[in-house]
Amino acid sequence: MKIEEARIKAQELRETLEYHSNRYYNEDSPEITDYEYDMMMRELKQLEKDFPELVDAASPTQHVGGKAKREAGVLVRHNVPMLSLQDVFSKEEVKSFVEEMEEKLDHPEFVVEYKIDGLSMSLRYENGKLVMAETRGDGIEFGEDVTENARVIDDVVQELKDQPEYLEIRGEVYMKNADFDAVNERQELLGKKVFANPRNCAAGTLRQLDSDVVKERKLSLFIFNLQQVRGKEFATHTQAYEYMKSQGISIIEDYKLCHTFEEVWNAISFIGENRGNLSYDIDGAVVKVNSYAQREYLGNTAKVPRWAVAYKYPPEEKETKILDIELSVGRTGRINPTAVFEPIRLCGTTVSRATLHNQDFINDLDVGIGDTVVVYKSGEIIPKIKSVVREKRPDGCVTYQIPDVCPVCGAKTLREENTADIKCTSATCPAQLERNIINFAGRDAMDLKGFGTVYIEELVRKGFIKDVADIYELKDKRDELIELGIIGKEKNTDKLLQVIEDSKSNDADRLFTGFGIPNVGKTAAKALLNHFGDIEKIAHASVEEMTEVADIGEITAQCIFTYFALPENQRLLERLKTLGLNLIKEKETLDSNVFEGKTFVITGTLPTMGRKEAAALIEKNGGKVTGSVSKKTDYLLAGEAAGSKLDKANALGIPILSETDLKNML
């Protein structure tokens, strides 16, 4: 390869790696596997080795991924850099590392331990008390202060039994697979975005502001390194581990002390063979020099310590045959296709199922029942289908198509706008009933205060609620509810029943939002009701008539049309009308037209107004409020701790307003 070709290729790799590094470290939303990222990084390193003149200080090979953010707290300066590790991918590379250590050091010992797949965090103790928890951030200078969030993690020790003058330790915040599944189930039930994997969930949770959410999601922590200590002395990594264990600190499990390359490789192989039996994800094995004196002698590069490497396991792949494709319906109504295949052994466990995600994924794979497929686990617990073995496709096998009817209730399905999700359109589908009721009772819809998830789940499971209209007939079962104690004693039951009764007079757009029609949120509901004035008129409107409303596109209109075309949804609307709910929108009178045709986004904490109050003020003066910044946004109303929306608005050149600016415009 010539130097100019190498220069162009290196620049392409750098840009791609920086993009995916940002997705992983800062957005907690990776688009490629760790293995794919590692292979690109390896290619770039080789180019820079072959052409030293291409080495650039800004290259991702020369610095730690990620940058400090301000979501969970203020930035803090690291006392000790939180470096990454040098990755290796083969037995030969591990052997080379061990031999290099043996050449430079006198009888080195090695510790082999799990490389947990999570978010790095350091804990600082002064006189035995926890005083600071920080994320890695940029790894060199700054991290984020996440002390309050760390305090609610069960594995974080608040006060040490011993009380050393100063102790700083580093570990990995992660999620056990069972806890991750529980969080995603909850997210789906509440109609929120699910997390891609436990690492993303742990990272996003630790960085956000509400410590109650951190506690609820049950993050875990393993400590894997002593960063700094005063008032104690340790000669080795394993001595420090033993001390930490005596203080109740959770350290990396099942580490192995090794003296030869053979022992090191056996330990790595053992971890690889048994990683599928762990209750959490690992993405490799770490090999460390045990002696602190030897570590100090070896030192660090700008990015990694010279005394450790991280071995990344190659993706384990096996062929198997698709026996069936099963369909299930999630609590949001989403149709979930799952491949059922002949059982195979991967990463220490037997697997026979893998998600096919959606129709786009199925089409891209070109997979059908009877196909032979390649299944893998890339350092993860969940098996995935990588590809179809075309030459083994049997006669008559075709690409699978998800039916256009719900597999649970038989209602028509619909693909949501800007997503790959296909959903059941029936409001009475048993598979999504709880989710529909929770949405209906939520703040953006009927706002039934006190009607929480626990009550809803119990009332659905005991048969009191089969659709949203049943909520308004609970008053007829008051005595039975009190006797069973589902809502509580007489006072609590009567209080909730009164809230339900009072909600009948809510604005019609709240009721329309409560139907949970795909792509119809409170903004779209309000626009439709302002135009038609009556939910019944919307229910009988054509797609063309609905698209005449500003900001109502054809896909949204089609979702509404399909929803009301179902007889069960027509019956539901008629029943709600009979029960006395308000279906008619009173004509709103604006205070002014100052903001007519203008779109606002609100972010941060305003000095004197809540966001809802500010939104209402804008709408009362002719403006529109949306939830995300785009080129169509006219103004960003920003308060304290504005976050990423402010960054995006600045990047797009969108005017930024303070609360005072907004009031002055009026």
Active site residues: 115
Instruction: State both tokens at 87.
Output: 């990755």
Of 116, 118, 153, the C-alpha closest to 28 is: 118
Count the neighbouring beta carbons within 10 Å of the beta carbon of residue 501.
Answer: 13
Single-letter code of the amino acid located at 165: E
Number of C-beta neighbours around residue 420 at 10 A? 13
Answer whether 117's CB lies under 8 Å from 281's CB: yes
Q: What is the sign of the dihedral through the CA atoms of 512, 514, 520 and 521? A: positive
The residue type found at 57 is A
At 34, list the tokens. 């760790």
Tell me the C-alpha distance between 430 and 447, whole Å. Answer: 23
Q: What do you get for the CA distance between the two ends of the chain, in Å?
A: 64
* Secondary structure element (H or E) that encloses residue 41, with its range: helix 34-50
Using alpha carbons, select from 324, 391, 388, 334 the residue that is nearest to residue 357: 334
122-136 burial, b if ≥16 CB within 10 A, otherwise e? bbbbeebebebbbbb
Token duo for residue 358: 């959606």
The count of C-alpha atoms lying within 13 angstroms of the C-alpha of 351, restricted to the half-sphere facing its C-beta, is 29
CA–CA distance, 165 with 127 (Å, rounded to integer): 5
Say whether 295 sits in a helix, a strand or coil.
helix
Q: How far is it, in rounded angstroms, from Cα 214 to Cα 151?
A: 10
Contact 639, 601 (CB under 8 A): no
Q: How many CB atoms lie within 10 A of CB 9?
A: 16
CA-angle at 617, arms to 615 and 618, nearest 5°: 65
Opening angle at CA 375, ends 369 and 416, nearest 5: 65
Q: How far apart are CA 336 and CA 111, in angstroms?
A: 43
